């Protein structure tokens, strides 16, 4: 089942923003697939937790020196209503998202976007359709998260107010620019309230724009005020985000979220080894 939430965003823009600015802001909206717990009336497109089906001969992903990663979610690309997205997701096969979640070491080791030595602690595994697979057994001491079936619906997303794409569209921006108006920002935030699992679209940050963290490490971690970071951030798109979720027993720090981003050209080539991970919490 799919539907769009573009109308609420259009209504909010025209209610809170001058007409010319509203039209330009609406041009920044991007489609996404919001993943929510499937009901009996839904056709599941994937799940949180559970055990992965891995190609024969492929071992469970491990962060060497630390231990196996946990399966966060898996999605059936053929079941996704992805035609409405603006990113080139595969049309078949399975995407599985793994993360070293700290359960094995009480959070001593952290996967960080600015620490290349930690990057193998988060992984995207793509299994093409037709690949012989086996349901993997859980690693010792790392029980799987409870399975939560997911349904997908098309949802239009708005950019974080301080995202580089906003600056590119409206610069120079005075401090009282309408898109930074408190009432407008609060109204937009209310539309994304609740648990947010998502494929594509604009990321919903817990703190600041997630693209900047990935862009900074792609540039070799220059100072945060380096203007190249904003430009590089425009080259990355959200592949997936997975929120903390009570139903699945998932808590990322203090009610945080996990994010995987890619360059569109790598996504089109299915180079999921080039996906980059970051996470944020309150």
Cα radius of gyration (the chain): 19
pTM of the model: 0.94
For 5, 54, 58, 81, 153, the CA distances from 199, given in Å and listed in that order, are 15, 21, 25, 11, 10
d(CA 65, CA 120): 11
d(CA 263, CA 218): 11
Angle of the 19-26 helix axis to the 6-16 helix axis, nearest 10: 150
Peptide bond into 172 cis (omega under 30): yes
Q: Is 142 helix (H, G, I), strand (E, B) or coil?
A: coil
Give the model confidence (pLDDT) of 201-240 as tens digits.
999 999 989 999 999 999 999 999 999 999 999 999 999 9
Q: Where are the alpha helices (DSSP H) in 2-147?
A: 6-16, 19-26
Which neighbouring-strand residues pair with 133?
55
Per the listing, tokens 């209504």 go with: 11
d(CA 80, CA 116): 32
Mean pLDDT score of the chain:
94
Q: Are 269 and 258 in contact (CB under 8 A)?
A: no
Per the listing, tokens 């030595």 go with: 117
Residue 234 DSSP code: T
Percent of all residues in the chain with a pLDDT value above 70, rounded to a whole number: 98
Q: How confident is the model at residue 5 (pLDDT cuts 50, 70, 90)?
A: very low
Spatial CA neighbour of 20 closest among 242, 209, 137, 169: 169
Per the listing, tokens 């053929």 go with: 78
Give the model confidence (pLDDT) of 29-77 as tens digits.
999 999 999 999 999 999 999 999 999 889 999 999 999 999 999 999 9
Specify the pLDDT at position 74: 98
Give the model confidence (pLDDT) of 123-157 as tens digits.
999 999 999 999 999 999 999 999 999 999 999 99
């Amino acid at each position: 089942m799919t539907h769009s939430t573009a109308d609420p965003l259009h209504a909010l823009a025209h209610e809170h923003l001058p007409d010319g600015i509203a039209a330009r802001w609406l041009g920044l909206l991007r489609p996404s697939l919001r993943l929510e717990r499937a009901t009996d009336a839904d056709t599941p497109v994937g799940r949180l937790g559970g055990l992965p089906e891995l190609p024969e001969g492929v071992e469970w992903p491990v962060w060497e020196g630390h231990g196996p990663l946990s399966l966060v979610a898996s999605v059936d690309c053929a079941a996704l209503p992805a035609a409405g997205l603006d990113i080139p997701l595969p049309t078949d096969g399975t995407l599985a998202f793994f993360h070293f979640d700290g359960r094995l070491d009480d959070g001593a080791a952290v996967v960080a976007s600015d620490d290349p030595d930690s990057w193998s602690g988060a992984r995207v595994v793509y299994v093409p359709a037709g690949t012989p697979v086996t349901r993997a057994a859980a690693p010792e001491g790392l029980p799987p998260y409870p399975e939560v079936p997911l349904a997908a619906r098309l949802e239009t997303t708005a950019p974080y107010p301080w995202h580089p794409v906003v600056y590119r569209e409206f610069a120079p921006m005075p401090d009282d620019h309408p898109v930074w108006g408190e009432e407008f920002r609060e109204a937009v935030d209310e539309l994304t309230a609740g648990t947010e699992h998502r494929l594509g679209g604009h990321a919903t940050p817990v703190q600041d724009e997630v693209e900047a963290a990935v862009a900074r490490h792609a540039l070799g971690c220059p100072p945060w005020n380096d203007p190249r970071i904003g430009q590089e951030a425009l080259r990355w798109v959200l592949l997936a985000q997975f929120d903390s979720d009570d139903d699945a027993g998932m808590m990322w720090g203090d009610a945080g979220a996990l994010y995987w981003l890619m360059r569109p050209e790598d996504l089109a080539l299915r180079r999921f080894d080039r996906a980059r991970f970051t996470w944020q919490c309150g």
